[in-house]
Amino acid sequence: MNTTKTFEEIVNYRRSVRYYKDLPIDSEKVKHCLELASLSPNSSNMQLWEFYHITDPEVMKKLSVACLNQQAATTAQQLLVFVTRQDLHRKRAKIILELETQNILKNSPKEKQEQRIKQRKLYYGKVMPFLYSRFFGLLGMMRKIIVNIVGIFRPIFYQVSENDQRVVVHKTCALATQTFMLAMANEGYDTCPMEGFDSRKVKRILKLPYGAEINMIISCGIRDNQGVWGDRMRIPFSEVYKKI
């Protein structure tokens, strides 16, 4: 792996590239960048995501159409589809509880192990299923009522509706996409995050279940000169930086 770039150089190198050279890229390096993306921070370590690495030319053609034939998709060498899987919350919570239990047994003082394992069982066995369960908005409404009552007496987390939890899993997945793009930049590869796509077509192409949602599609390749649309522009930092 190319490790000669500093982090600042990686951040400055990364641009949204909309036209790629007709040059192959190493799918194993792309896969490794996805492995790095899986280390991204995520809410309660639930990891409610999946990464679809598309290298098959026929599938890429179909996805390009679903991406509205953007050049970033039609000229890409490979495509990545980042998917949220809130519907897997019970399965993932069970896995994380098992891992957390082993972690506690390995790293916690013996006198605190029982209490900490009990806390994790409550959190991943009861709280997570309660927060992530969905039923036509009704469960979220019930959660909102409960937290608003409790909030009268003490500080509490209010974002518990079904839509709030959907936002959480998409934020989490977006953290992974950013890590992936920076990892790709470190390899000297280019990317473009795309949100303009027909999500229904994409789900059909990838045969995704009803509970899965498309977070982002990222095209990959090596930038062509026309692939970067001019100089990078940002709102003056003084307008967005607020020191308190």
Rounded Cα gap, residues 121 and 97, in angstroms: 7
Task: Indicate the Cα dihedral angle 84, 165, 128, 180, nearest 10°.
Answer: 40
pLDDT score for 4: 75
Residue burial 193-211, b: 16+ Cβ < 10 Å; e: rest? bbeebeeebbbebbebeee
Amino acid at the residue 28: E
Rounded Cα gap, residues 202 and 148, in angstroms: 38
Rounded Cα gap, residues 227 and 219, in angstroms: 12
Question: CATH number of the domain at 15-86+165-226, out of 3.40.50.10470, 3.40.109.10, 3.20.20.80, 2.60.40.740?
Answer: 3.40.109.10
> Helix 27-37 to helix 162-186 angle, to the nearest 10 degrees?
140
Phi, psi of 67 (to 5 degrees): -90, 20
Residue by residue, pLDDT tens for the chain (244 residues) are 455 789 999 999 999 999 999 999 999 999 999 999 999 999 999 999 999 999 999 999 999 999 999 999 999 999 999 999 999 999 999 999 999 999 999 999 999 999 999 999 999 999 999 999 998 889 999 999 999 999 999 999 999 999 999 999 999 999 999 999 999 999 999 999 999 999 999 999 999 999 999 999 999 999 998 999 889 999 999 999 999 9
Radius of gyration of the chain from its Cα atoms, rounded to whole angstroms: 21
pLDDT score for 127: 95
pLDDT score for 1: 46
- Start and end residues for every CATH 3.40.109.10 domain found in the chain: 15-86+165-226
pTM of the model: 0.93
All residues at 6 or more sequence positions from 105 whose CB lies less than 8 Å from its CB, including other chains? 113, 117
